[in-house]
Amino acid sequence: MDLQLTGKRAVVTGGSSGIGLAVADGLAAEGVDVAVVARRKEPLDAAVDQVARHGTRVLAAPADTADDDSVRGMAKQVLDELGGVDILVNAAARPAGLIPQRELADLTDDDVRIELETKLLGYLRCARALSPSMIESGWGRIVNVSGLNARQSVSVVGSVRNIAVAAMSSALADELGPKGINVSVVHPGMTVTTGTEELIASRARQQGIDEATMRARAEAGTRIGRLATAAEVADVIVFLCSPRAVAIAGDTIAAGGGARGVTYY
């Protein structure tokens, strides 16, 4: 299937690693010019070198999405260099497994505030800064990467931030849909990235079990019997970025290999 993405221009936040990097790579493979956004220079430069192998224009766009001035500066750079933006993929957020798990008595306002500042407001800032270019052209796609903690009660902070992203995305879809811009959400579960093994090892130590057992438990919770890779999650996101995905607007797509024992309808 031709995704009809050749010549489109995309911004991918959190693009220097994990799912964000896989998305940037997947979009470039489909002929998309990509601005890769991240805070740290060395990983950002390495990501740009990797994505550029597909032959499209690839920009390093350093920014901290927790800072509105930084986001606006990034948007100006991208619009100046690419001439416009058609696609925004928001993936700049701390993985859920790295959020400290605290009991209510120890949970602070800042534990919640920092996650909302980075993920919810960070995504909103980027949409606010880049959607005018999409509105002007009459076409666009915004995909917000959230997470399956939105459907679980294992983490107050993780659940709240991810549910908030889904609610915001639905509201933006209502506003922007008539202007040709589809907004959607993807909920990954635990995904195979460079940090997954470290996370599994950390959880194994906390629970006093070996890493193989910890990994097997995580895999047993999926319907496919293993963890999805970052590239496999990116395949879903790249499709949502395409004109082919016009029928999906304001909806949430789970991409975690299927949660066993749960029915969503």
The pLDDT tens digits of the residues spanning 39-92 come to 999 999 999 999 999 999 999 999 999 999 999 999 999 999 999 999 999 999
Look up the CATH architecture of domain 9-192+229-255.
3-Layer(aba) Sandwich (3.40)
pLDDT at 125 over 90: yes
In the chain, where does the domain assigned CATH 3.40.50.720 lie?
9-192+229-255
Across the chain, what does the average pLDDT equal?
Answer: 93
Q: Report yes or no: 47 and 21 within 8 Å, Cβ to Cβ.
A: yes
- Look at the alpha carbons of 223, 20, 246, 142 in this order and tell me if their dihedral is positive or negative: positive
* Averaged pLDDT, 107-119: 88
- Order of strands across the sheet that contains 181-188: 58-62, 33-38, 9-13, 87-90, 140-145, 181-188, 252-255
Q: For residues 56 and 68, give the distance between their C-alpha atoms in angstroms, rounded to a whole number.
A: 28
Q: Report yes or no: 248 and 170 within 8 Å, Cβ to Cβ.
A: no
Q: For residues 88 and 162, give the distance between their C-alpha atoms in angstroms, rounded to a whole number.
A: 18
Instruction: Read off the tokens for 106.
Output: 């120890």
* pTM check: above 0.95: no
